[in-house]
Amino acid sequence: MWPFVSRRYATYSVEEVDQKPYDYIVVGGGTGGCVLASRLTEDSSVSVLLIERGPIIDSWLSRVPLLSTDFRSARSPTYQWASTTNAVATEIGTKRMISGKALGGTSKVNAFIYTRSIPGEYNAWASNGREGWSWSDVEPYFRKSETSSSNTSASHRGSTGALSLIPLVASTESLGIPRQKDFHDPAVPPYTCGLLDVTIDESGCRHSTFDAFLPPEITSRANLFICPESIVTRLDLKDDDNEIRVAGVYLEPSMLNSNSTAISCYASATREVIMCAGAIATPQILMLSGLGPKGHLEELGIAVVRDLPGVGANLQDHPCVSLLYKVPREDSLHELKHNPLRVIWELLRYVVTGQGWLLSPNPQMAVFALSKLLDEESRTTIGLEAGADSHSPDNLPDIELTGMPFNMCPDVPLDKSEGALSLVCILLKPKSAGTIRLGSLNAHDRPICDLNYLREPGDYEVFRKALRLGLAIGRKCREQGYSMRDALVPDSESDEDLDRFTRQRMTTIFHYTSTCRMAPEQELGVVDDELRVHGVHNLRVADASIFPVVPSAHPQAPVVMVAERCASFIKAVRTGR
């Protein structure tokens, strides 16, 4: 395995695409945009323009799994800003928000985790009126996009898709949560622990959607035009006889310095524009174009093309709280920080064999639980058939626990001789939701995001159960003889101490969704069941913003599925089927 080879890609500047027509314009070359551009250009008779805010990044560091997850650093290809202070629990304060800024988007900097959620997730969408989005409808599109090396013979796993998946480790059977070989088996219960699938290819490299769906043989297609380091400032919306349609996009370079003058260009779309800019940027662009809450747009002096109150509403995330334990240094990534010889050894091992610590993603394991089934000792109640049915919309996991072999609480100092294990307790189904609003009329400026954590009291209740489960797992590890000492845990397991710990230590896990949700307009929906923006012709959205609610999964796999579904909708229109 030799990771140092760089590949070349044909790209276009904003000046080169200016005043040119394309059949389809995909705004955002992130997790979903790369999938969509790849699928649409399978038909050589259509042209596709793919516009991405960030650059193409294909360096060695961007491909080494462990090193490429350093997305919090300033040198990483990310788009970073601070959320507003939570309006209810002021102890929470501002949180740093991050999304990917490169071809491949957040799939270039995330922790590789590939989870679909259980069938009941999508059956819940269908039971709430989302026609064509039940488990039986979406499962073929999950299979289409993946090649699973962990469960090659399973009928529910893909074997010819673009995304390469491999598994890793864990178990918590003593608390009534059974270990499963494959999280994605639709027959397993919704409470489970086991190995995680991750998007790493056979050579041991990160496999983002850019790597998977837009390798050089696809980017070289004559009908695909990739325009990186470019930002869409607004959509060109026409009102013809009270019929609103999108005709194209205005764009300019995104990498401007203080001495640069913005170059405003225009590209027209003869068929459709598809927004894939993500749950933060997609509603921002729609609002800058006059699609959004009427009162907010009028306050900023933006001409209202269509009053869509759901644009920027219902911002959801997976908030998390970490329990921190001291463990032997050789069992954590702190060994690499303080042992230069180990770093050299692991580097050589990875370059020569494609194995070792640099291959390891983080986290490596996960536990999914239902808070309603946890008893006072944090044991899952077994034998409740209703709770075991993973196809039921009533049984969605609302807790995830993952183990990270390093200190997720940098304000807690550790001795150089010590290692750390962070047990991250994640709220999968928060009842609270926030908003995205424009801070200015400049598309380069970060929007105002209020994550609005813990507004709903029910979120405290689930966090208490998540923390108690995490503490119980810590006790079980010690009972089994593992050297593990408290470094940062709540003062007690009382409701008051758990709630205080949650407010003080809670942070984001960077899973922003649902700001242009798929629902009727009267339910603050923005797109219909075929991802078309309500009341606007030829405009769709295909990213995490369309989820009716944040799913009980890391968003990467569901976003890929949504992009696959969107491509099928578009192809059906083009072929008349």
CA distances from 89 to 65, 86, 314, 487, 502 (A): 36, 6, 18, 25, 10
**Secondary structure class of 296 (helix, strand, coil):** helix
| CA 506 – CA 366 distance, rounded (Å) | 19
Question: 466 is written with which tokens?
Answer: 């998540």
Cβ contacts of 243 within 8 Å, gap of 6 or more: 537
Pick from 564, 570, 404: nearest CA to 38: 564
Sign of CA dihedral 438, 439, 440, 445: negative
Pick from 413, 442, 170, 433: nearest CA to 302: 442
**Secondary structure class of 304 (helix, strand, coil):** coil
Length of the chain: 577
Identify each DSSP E strand in 390-453 by its residue range: 399-404, 418-427, 435-437, 448-450
Cβ(172)–Cβ(469) below 8 Å: no
Cβ(40)–Cβ(271) below 8 Å: no
**Secondary structure class of 295 (helix, strand, coil):** helix
Identify each DSSP E strand in 115-218 by its residue range: 146-148, 163-167, 179-180, 192-195, 197-198
Cis peptide bond N-terminal to 363, omega within 30:
yes
Residue 318 annotated as catalytic: no
Residue 207 annotated as catalytic: no
Question: 62 is written with which tokens?
Answer: 């961007």
Task: Find tokens 């389809």 and name the residue.
Answer: 24
Measure the CA angle with vertex 491, ends 485 and 496; round to 5°: 145
Burial class of residue 340, CB neighbours in 10 A (0-12, 13-18, 19+): exposed
Measure the CA angle with vertex 415, ends 411 and 417; round to 5°: 140
Binding residues for FAD: 106, 232, 555-556
DSSP state of 259: T
Sign of CA dihedral 443, 444, 450, 451: positive
Burial class of residue 383, CB neighbours in 10 A (0-12, 13-18, 19+): exposed
**Secondary structure class of 334 (helix, strand, coil):** helix
Cα end-to-end distance, the chain, whole Å:
44
Q: How does strand 146-148 pair with strand 96-100? A: unpaired
Binding residues: 106, 232, 555-556
> Of 318, 338, 511, 534, which residue is the catalytic one?
511
Active site residues: 511, 554
